[in-house]
């Protein structure tokens, strides 16, 4: 006979993605009674479908690309024969335990937490003012409730797409990022719908594993949130690697045909692939939470939270992660979790603002970005100067040889003399970005950056080249 769960807790966390899991575990560790609720996998998108599995694919693809350069850079010889199966096995066995979260659930419970599998919905307030949450007909309450339900892959309303996808999964001809990372083998051909960060990462990686890849992007350029120069360089690299690009044209219909999937484009042409990978953004899961039960708009895509992650206007309710609209990144969710944990435990405030928000698209070359783009800075009325240096013009970039595409672009607020943004497109661009993230976050004067030591010959020394251009 199952023992009934307590109805009252110190804290309830609805959604145990990276941020929700961090809050739930740390607060349980601190001695709070914590109820964690998730209808899918504890840990969320990142360990099972996003950050970790996708980067395992990218790592394997990068090794293939480097192997192909042996004949250019050394007197040796390498014959490359791509095989995706070891990567698929590694994702299944090492990264995801075959998409089983038993280890994560047990870790939370060992810390003293209570876990319930199901869809948590807000259920108004109890007589004592605490927030109530319903899970499958059972009601629980706590003075503090955290909403961290994240987002799901969006399926656009293109005629024929939903019907061909059916129930989804690796066997379906229509994939989302979740399906593709459960596939044991690379398809012979694939149409990637969407040229954002997820789409371009997977397009390039599977192309290097031998898949014939076609990218369809409705806007005029891929990775349109990045600097235009980054889009241009990435397009050049993709074409050089044999990836077919259809930019500035959307899809109007999808059906069975050709190699498996036939996609009709707005210009009347068609493209085909064994599989179609849909990467056109994410949909908020907030619609599943019943926000109206606490007086919020049930159709809201994001929650308005303050600098302590408190939902504005609703006492005892907090929001972290994708549903705050501050960037769908694991590091943002966990950063917000740390801010909230400090608040709940009465520790010093850890909120540092979002002006130094950074991210990386893990293409080759990587695109690391922090703060404002040049156009965003100008739109905010800032007087702007930019500094620019190509990676190939640096000594280490020249030594690197093939694969040294990219640049460093600095965006300075002239009136304050500090960087408000930067882009590093380079081999290991996300790692080089660290120095510039610190500069933007801490508002270090560009004059100070110019006086720093930059180790020679390193890729990060390219920052000095961009600073010299800024000051020329």
Q: Which of 281, 299, 322 is the endpoint of a domain?
A: 281
Are both 366 and 277 inside the same structural domain?
Answer: no
**Residue 289 located in a structural domain:** yes
Which of left, alpha, beta for 242 (phi over 0: left; psi -120 to 50: alpha)? left
* 17 and 128 both lie in a single domain: yes
**In this prediction, what percent of the chain has a pLDDT beyond 90?**
95
Per-residue pLDDT tens digits for 413-427: 999 999 999 999 999
Domain boundary among 281, 304, 321: 281
* Co-location of 256 and 170 in the same domain: yes
Is residue 198 included in any domain, yes or no?
yes
Question: Is residue 67 a part of any domain in this protein?
Answer: no
Residues 234, 288, single domain; the answer is no
Sign of CA pseudo-dihedral 395, 398, 400, 403: positive
Residue 404, domain CATH: 3.30.390.30
Q: Is residue 350 part of a domain?
A: no
Domain count, the chain: 3
- The yes-or-no verdict on residue 312 having pLDDT over 90 is yes
pLDDT at 214: 98
Does residue 273 share a domain with residue 262? yes
Percentage helix, strand, coil for the chain under 3-state DSSP, each rounded to 5: 35, 25, 40
Residue 2, pLDDT score:
60
Does 83 reside within a domain? no
59 assigned to some structural domain: no
Listed range (1-5, 22-26, 381-385) with the worst mean pLDDT: 1-5
Whether 330 and 371 share a structural domain? no
Is residue 175 domain-shared with residue 196, that is, in the same domain? yes
Q: What is the pTM of this model?
A: 0.95
- What's the whole-number mean pLDDT along residues 59-64? 96
| CATH number of the CATH domain containing 39 | 3.50.50.60
Q: Is 240 helix (H, G, I), strand (E, B) or coil?
A: helix
In a shared domain, residues 365 and 395: yes
Do 269 and 327 reside in the same domain of the chain? no
Tokens of 46: 């990142």
Residues 460 and 395 in one domain: yes
Residue-number span of the structural domain to which 467 is assigned? 358-471
Q: Give DSSP secondary structure letters for 359-388.
A: EEE-SSSEEEEEE--HHHHHHTT--EEEEE
- Is residue 1 predicted with pLDDT exceeding 50? no
Q: Looking at residues 385-404, what average pLDDT do you find?
A: 96
Peptide bond into 206 cis (omega under 30): no
Mean pLDDT of 5-28: 97
* 137 has pLDDT over 70: yes
Question: Do 30 and 129 belong together in one domain?
Answer: yes
pLDDT tens digits along 271-302: 999 999 999 999 999 999 999 999 999 999 99
pLDDT-derived band of residue 142, with 50, 70 and 90 as boundaries? very high
Domain endpoint, select from 281, 298, 324: 281
**Would 91 be classed as within a structural domain?**
no
As a dihedral over the C-alpha atoms of residue 69, residue 74, residue 76, residue 77, rounded to 10 degrees, the angle is 20
Statement to judge: residues 338 and 374 lie in one domain? no
**Any domain includes 194:** yes
């Amino acid at each position: 006979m199952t023992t009934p769960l307590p109805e009252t807790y110190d804290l309830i966390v609805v959604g145990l993605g990276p941020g929700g899991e961090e809050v739930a575990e740390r607060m349980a560790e601190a001695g709070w009674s914590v109820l964690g609720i998730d209808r899918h996998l504890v840990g969320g998108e990142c360990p099972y479908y996003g950050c970790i599995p996708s980067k395992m694919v990218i790592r394997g693809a990068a090794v293939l690309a480097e192997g192909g350069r042996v004949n250019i850079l050394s007197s040796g010889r390498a014959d490359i024969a791509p095989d995706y199966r070891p990567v698929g096995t590694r994702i299944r066995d090492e990264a995801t335990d075959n998409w089983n979260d038993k280890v994560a659930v047990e870790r939370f419970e060992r810390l003293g937490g209570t876990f319930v599998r199901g869809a948590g919905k807000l259920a108004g307030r109890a007589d004592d003012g605490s927030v109530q949450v319903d899970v499958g007909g059972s009601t629980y309450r706590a003075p503090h409730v955290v909403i961290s339900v994240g987002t799901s892959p969006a399926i656009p309303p293109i005629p024929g797409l939903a019907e061909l996808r059916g129930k989804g999964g690796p066997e379906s001809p229509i994939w989302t990022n979740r399906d593709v990372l459960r596939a044991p083998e690379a398809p012979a051909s694939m149409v990637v719908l969407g040229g954002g960060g997820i789409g371009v990462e997977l397009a390039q990686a599977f192309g290097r594993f031998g898949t014939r890849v076609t990218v369809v992007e409705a806007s005029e350029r891929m990775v349109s949130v990045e600097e235009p120069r980054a889009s241009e360089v990435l397009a050049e690299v993709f074409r050089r690697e044999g990836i077919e690009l259809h930019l500035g044209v959307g899809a109007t219909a999808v059906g069975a045909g050709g190699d498996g999937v036939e996609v009709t484009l707005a210009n009347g042409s068609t493209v085909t692939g064994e599989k179609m990978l849909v990467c056109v953004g994410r949909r908020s899961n907030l619609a599943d939470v019943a926000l109206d039960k606490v007086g919020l708009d049930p159709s809201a895509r994001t929650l308005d939270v303050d600098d302590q992650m408190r939902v504005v206007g609703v006492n005892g309710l907090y929001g972290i992660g994708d549903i705050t609209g501050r960037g769908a990144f694991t590091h943002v969710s966990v950063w917000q979790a740390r801010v909230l944990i400090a608040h709940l435990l009465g520790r010093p405030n850890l909120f540092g603002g979002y002006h130094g928000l950074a991210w990386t698209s893990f293409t080759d070359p990587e695109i690391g970005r922090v703060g404002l783009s040049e156009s965003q800075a100008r739109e905010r009325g800032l007087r702007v100067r930019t500094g620019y240096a190509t990676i190939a013009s640096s000594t280490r970039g020249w030594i690197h040889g093939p694969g040294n595409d990219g640049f460093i672009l600095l965006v300075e607020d002239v009136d304050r003399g500090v960087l408000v943004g930067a882009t590093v497109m380079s081999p290991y661009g996300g790692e080089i970005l660290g120095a510039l993230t610190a500069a933007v976050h801490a508002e270090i004067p560009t004059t100070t950056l110019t006086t720093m030591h930059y180790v020679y010959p390193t890729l990060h020394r390219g920052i000095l080249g961009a600073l010299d251009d800024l000051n020329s």
